[in-house]
Structure 1
């Protein structure tokens, strides 16, 4: 399962075809893969992926890097220009991982009983 997640993450990152964003997208792809594995549901990584993309688009638009006409100029691909956004993302990530780990642990205990 780990090999499958990391191979899929490499493909996920390569499909975006952006050299400087390869490693962050590789890690994001691995995160999505482990979310799928831990939650046993495709919906959680899909929702988190959509949420991530929405935050990037919104923060890029709000910072003025995307004009009203739709053109872009050197967009910060990750929207990491806001320390509050970084903090919110980190807190949400830790919360989701903690909850999934706790639910997986309780499911194992219930199977043993």
Structure 2
């Protein structure tokens, strides 16, 4: 799967996705178009599923030459939506660049929030 990504950022994101799929991990996911933030846990050995979507209707379809989007997804075993006023300390520390990045500076706080249900 990594060979299909020509940038180092793309290859790194796929490597992280494969790592979480195999070993499990905690995830902070932000969806800017719908203004939602989800946190959750992915169990080890979770299969990566590929879903296809029709792109948002737009005048510029050059980004979608095949007419569909194919998204690689992992299913959370635990998840919760975060409201804009919650977990502000973690929001301030999140990485701002990259599609899929390791978050080294949260010091296990996300793990505690998810495992202990602190919301």
If the length of structure 1 is used for normalisation, what is the TM-score? Answer: 0.29
| Relative contact order, higher structure (CA 8 A, sep 6+) | 2
More strand per residue: 2
Q: TM-score, with normalisation over the residues of structure 2? A: 0.28
Structure with higher helix content? 1
Pick the structure with greater CA Rg.
1
